[in-house]
Structure 1
Amino acid sequence: MWKGRLDPHGYGVFDVDAKPHRAHRWILEYHLGRKLRGDEVARHMCHTKPCVRIEHLAPGSRADNAQDEIKRGRRRRSVHEDCGHPLTSSAKAKCRQENGVKQPVRFGFTPHERFMLDVDTTSDPNGCHLWIGRKNQAGYGRFGVDGTLKLAHRWALEQKLGRKLGPEEVCRHACDVRACVRQDHLEPGTRLENARDTVERGQHYNAHRTHCKRGHEFNEENTYIAPTHGKRSCRACALIRNPRKGPKPERTHCKHGHELTPENTMIRASTGTRDCRECGRIRTRESQRRKRNKLLAGESPVYTLTHCKNGHEFTEANTYITPASGSRQCLECKRERRRKRKP
């Protein structure tokens, strides 16, 4: 079997002197010691297009090649739809004598019969039905139906499901063999599921790579796998592109230069972040200074809260303003604290 590249009809292609030649024709010419004439073709006695075994090849004419296909059932003459008589003069007369009426004509094979002519169901040890007809550059079979070329495995799956696949659907191979058209090995899916299958099974074209383009190794710590499409990326390269995404070093001082010692550090319960106690004391003193200056200037400070934390309203009779800082205190809360201190 030819393992190199194939032409659209499934025959092997072999370059000689920078010119492409069909592999089976070239090996036959090499064995015969001469070039085939213009009216000669290389006949496959095994009827396997990629085969280049010299015992399976023989020279002949195009008529001989056509007769071989008819004898092996790969080419059928046009026949009557119901009785199966070929469209010859004697068969037409016999058909009219037997049936009495003119029969509808069926030309050639049905699509399913033509499809099975290019399927090898016996050679693969894993039970795959291999497509031996024309293929595209990716190795998938091509099958012509209704004047259009379709992917052979996709057409086989559509026949199994009884419907056409949608534009967002693809045909997934459970056996990972692109030339397989066995319906048991095919199932519908999305492009995302198909891409994940290639990554999980090591079939992706980048699966063999162990390092990124900058030389960083794809180990467990340095590899990020995107949850949406399953692609992997290098974490070290991501830090080079955007250094802000990297881990930030632990702070030892606040932005004003105060050291974040255990005594000078406060952990917020809501967010878990660290705050500088000295900065908090400075902000409190500054706020008290501004309020005191407003009181000395005769301005009344603006208070936003109308009730204290215990729910008492800040009325004129229930409010005490501290002269030093200008902050408000609830007199009712003050009385409650005094009552609790008394035995």
Structure 2
Amino acid sequence: MDRQSYIPPVAEKRCEACGKPYSPLRDNKCQPCYRRNARYGSTEYKREEIKDITLDFVLAHSRESGACLLWTGTVSKEGRPQTTDRKYWREEGRARQILLHRWMYEHHAGQVLRKGQHVKQKCGNKLCLSPAHLCTSLPRPGRTPLGEAGRYKGKPRREDYLERCANGHEWTEENLYIDPKGRRICRACQAASYQLRQGKDPSDHEWKRRKTWEETPECSNGHLYASVGWYFNGESRVCRKCFAEKERSRWLRVNYGMALEDFEALLAVQDFACAICAVLFDPDVRELTPCVDHSHSTGQVRGLLCHACNLGIGHFKDDLARLRSAIEYLALRSQRSSTADTGQL
């Protein structure tokens, strides 16, 4: 037998005034009925119907406070007096809010303000509807007056905008740059803006057009790109020889704690030859490139060796006893081989 869970129905609560279901109830009334009863003493919804906004209606919902006439009705999001045009609601079926400080100014001034004109209170109180405290605000400085539709028409275009930029630089082939969106950009103004962001005075740095790759066949250190080679790093050309020297200097500083000038001075002291075998160094041959010999315990640089001598000392682990044994071993073996050769003869 299939068991079915039984859920008892929830008792539906209804408002004793309007009969609509509502939860939770307060004094057996829904929230709207409770509020109307607490404010007006009755749950019956009453609304004052008016045909049009009149001065008597405004004065009936205002109170005097010194020289101000303060509105006591509904206000807008900005806190300014407003009311609903109920006649427009009945005729058109749409709601329309009327700003009462604007209506009050038009009523006493006898003129209709055009769209875009604003009315403000001189006393600083947003709820004030006193005609003596209302005035029209002037447009902001630096802006052109509003058009018939109340829209900002923008700053008028200069007559010479096709000849020079806003700062007076002429549109030349070197100075003009047109971005992908078709906008004109002045290179001199752009360079001056960049210098100002760096804290420099643009008048001390005159802008000059950057040379093209065809106009610069060599790098800043005088190396010809055609002979030493170059590569593009995403922003500019990089000389391969300058990059190799930079990496060499970094390698000496990081691994041996010596500058490139000290390395070249040590190379000159050794007459550009290995300190052990006295073979001249040759940068184009890998086995004859100078290697920095240093102590692995103290890190002190001892000299420059060729590739073979540096590996030999490294394999003997800088042990003098092992090196002496190797010398004796070679001397003994060479003596035996010479004696054997003599006996055969």
TM-score for both structures, normalised by structure 2: 0.29
TM-score for both structures, normalised by structure 1: 0.29
**Structure with a larger share of its residues in strand:** 1
Higher RCO (Cα < 8 Å, 6 or more apart): 1
